[in-house]
Amino acid sequence: LQGVDASVAKEEIDWHFNPPGAPHFGGIWESAVKSAKHHLTRVVKDAKLTLEELGTLLCQIEACLNSRPLTPLSSHPLDLEPITPAHFLIGGPLLLVPEADLSNENISALRKWRYVQALMQTFWKRWSKEYLPQLQVRGRWLAQIEQVKIGDIVIIKEECAPPGKWKLGKILKTHPGSDGIVRVVTLKTSNGNELKRPVVKLCRLPVEEKDQNFENHNFQRGENVCAAADIRVI
């Protein structure tokens, strides 16, 4: 702890702690912690994991959380790469090794690696299904909300998406109904395919006006986001 204290003192970092017993003071980031803990306890249940197995599982869950899209990386029409928390940690997206789906298999406790993988994949399915609806704003008939439009970057909901993989698309065309409300759109994915999907299966990535200059920077694959944005990562 003394070493940490000396390091942050050089960076002139001031610590601000939440009061005890008040995790809600953390706001949105504490909400993410709550969501992860909620699903982790229900996935692990009464499983008996060694310290190494638990550490492996937590690292894989960390990778899932840090792979989530936050906002489009650029406004280039052919670039569907999103900014993720990993960009601010390592300067680029995470690369996860593809694994066979083991979440529904009955695995012997002796096959520990496959068992830990099954726990991680089960966590991914539960958590991603909760995270995506948080990006959707549904005002029903109580209030009019902004509709999706041409050029929006969206996450396409897929039931069988592997851990850490998010299918993104850019809206090419909208298909409004007789009432003027858009419920179906035509998308273009990163591999060049065009798909027609209902809006309820899409989650638009948020873009704020104040971030327009940063969003208009056309990043190249592999470019360090933190360096381009002049952000210091401690």
**pLDDT tens digits along 80-120:** 778 888 888 888 887 776 676 766 666 565 577 788 888 88
User: What's the mean pLDDT in 174-198?
Assistant: 87
Residues 151 and 171: beta-carbon distance below 8 Å: yes
Residues 144 and 58: beta-carbon distance below 8 Å: no
Residues near 5 by Cβ (< 8 Å), separated by ≥ 6? none
Give the C-alpha distances (Å, rounded to integers) separating 4 from 8, 16, 219.
Answer: 6, 15, 33
Q: Which residue has the higher pLDDT, 161 or 210?
A: 161
**pLDDT tens digits along 144-162:** 667 888 888 888 888 777 7
Per-residue pLDDT at 212? 46
**DSSP state for residue 58 in the 8-state scheme:** H
Domain ranges of the chain: 23-228
Separation of alpha carbons 126 and 123, rounded Å:
5
**Phi/psi of residue 64, nearest 5 degrees:** -60, -45
Mean pLDDT of the chain: 75
Strands 202-204 and 168-176: unpaired
Per-residue pLDDT at 137? 57
- How would DSSP label each residue in 155-214? EEP-TTPPTT---EEEEEEEEE-TTS-EEEEEEEETTS-EEEEEGGGEEEPP--GGGHHH
Per-residue pLDDT at 106? 66
DSSP lists the bridge partners of residue 196 as 186
Torsional sign, CA 156, 158, 161, 164: positive
Per-residue pLDDT at 109? 56
Separation of alpha carbons 175 and 65, rounded Å:
33
How close are the terminal C-alpha atoms of the chain, in Å? 16
Q: Which residue has the higher pLDDT, 148 or 208?
A: 148
Separation of alpha carbons 147 and 204, rounded Å:
10
